[in-house]
Amino acid sequence: MQTFPTVSTSRATGRVTWIDGARGIAIILVVLFHAGMFTVPTGLASPWWEPLNLVFALLRMPLFFLVAGMLAVGAVGRPWPELWRTRLAVLVWVFVVWTVLRFAYYQVIPEPIDLNQSSWLDFVLSIVRPSNGLWFLFALALFLVAAKALHGRVNRWVVLAVAAVASSVAHGGVTFGNVTYDGITKYFVFFMIGLYLREPIIHFVHRRGWLMSVALLMAFAAAIVLRGATGWFVDTVTAVPVGLIAVAFGLCLARSLARTPLTRPLSRPLEHLGQRTLQVYVTHILLLSTFTSLLLPFADTPAIALLRPVMPVLMSAIAIALSLVIAAGCARVPVLRLLYVAPAWFARERVGTAASR
């Protein structure tokens, strides 16, 4: 049986720290995508941000879900009650709480772009058919349930093959007409690859450096050009392989940043951010929406014209920083802490366990 060498981890937690760095890269790309989503249609950002953000479509969410799968290896092997207590409860709780908060927000503040976030019908159906940016939490909870249900019952290669076919078909244009169901179909394969192949992935990345990162970036860029110049068939066939190239680039980049003394100061903030992606993910959309609403009256001013080329970057940086500050502040207030943490009664935790967190 093949074994892999031990890799460097945080001594305090045993975590492979560059995995957190990769997750930090993913959340930055997600926030940047949403910043472009708000600012381009409203004239606050240059129109070329829209195609640029599309280039990273096969990097940001595949990387996010593959890393989530890598971090779920231990959880999937736990009994159902423990899986609920340690992983599922917080996803379900935060999803419900922030779905209500978003709906309430958009009942008071008009949407700067048409996201249909104020629809009562969508709000009622959101528990089974989310149609907002919180779909990631819904999908991740389902992925954990599916992985647990399949654990030890279905051959992993069969699971990966079926998931890869489903992802390819979805990337080829077959759609459910719903962002959540489409996302589940597209990205389940990446979650399961991370779950099933965690050790080989770590072994591969740990032995590579900057040269591999550059090579993977060039391969990813070439693949994007190929996909852009062809039709749906090539999009279907190449979606998963290109996504894996992109993910490999993201992982190798995170590892290279972490191992190089010159870039280590950049890696530490990424790792810090990667450990707090939930807080950023649920908070940043409302911040971006607020920023957009505040800036809209000034969209035609010379000052905004100067900032259009970098507006998504500026808004992303501010939204990420404020999300972290808000979450840190809420953590100090018991009631507000529940915006990001499931209460003990919901997670079915023992009182002593909850108090010690």
Mean pLDDT across 110-116: 80
Share of the chain above pLDDT 70, in %: 92
First to last CA, the chain: 38
Q: Structure pTM?
A: 0.90
Mean pLDDT across 229-238: 76
| pLDDT one-digit tens code per residue, 346-355 | 988 664 444 4
Mean pLDDT across 93-102: 95
Number of Cβ within 10 Å of residue 340's Cβ equals 20
User: Poorest-confidence range of 51-55, 85-89, 113-117?
Assistant: 113-117
- Rounded Cα distance between 215 and 207, Å, is 14
* pLDDT at site 34: 95
* pLDDT at site 208: 84
Share of the chain above pLDDT 90, in %: 70
Mean pLDDT across 181-189: 96
* pLDDT at site 229: 67
Residues with Cβ < 8 Å from 258, sequence gap 6 or more? Answer: 17, 18, 21, 264, 267, 271
- Rounded Cα distance between 207 and 174, Å, is 38
Half-sphere exposure of 57 (CA within 13 A, CB side): 17
Quick one: angle between helices 179-196 and 198-206, nearest 10? 70
State yes or no: pLDDT of 12 exceeds 80. no
- Rounded Cα distance between 34 and 133, Å, is 9
| pLDDT one-digit tens code per residue, 234-272 | 778 888 999 999 999 999 999 999 998 888 988 999 999
* pLDDT at site 66: 97
Which is higher by pLDDT, 2 or 111? 111
Contact (Cβ atoms closer than 8 angstroms) between residue 139 and residue 180: yes
Q: Report the chain's C-alpha Rg in angstroms.
A: 20
User: Poorest-confidence range of 66-80, 314-328, 339-353?
Assistant: 339-353
Q: Is the dihedral of CA 182, 29, 25, 128 positive or negative?
A: negative
User: Poorest-confidence range of 11-25, 119-133, 134-148, 157-171?
Assistant: 11-25
Domain ranges of the chain: 31-355
Mean pLDDT across 7-33: 78
* pLDDT at site 224: 85
* pLDDT at site 11: 41
Number of Cβ within 10 Å of residue 332's Cβ equals 8
Mean pLDDT across 321-348: 95
Contact (Cβ atoms closer than 8 angstroms) between residue 254 and residue 21: yes
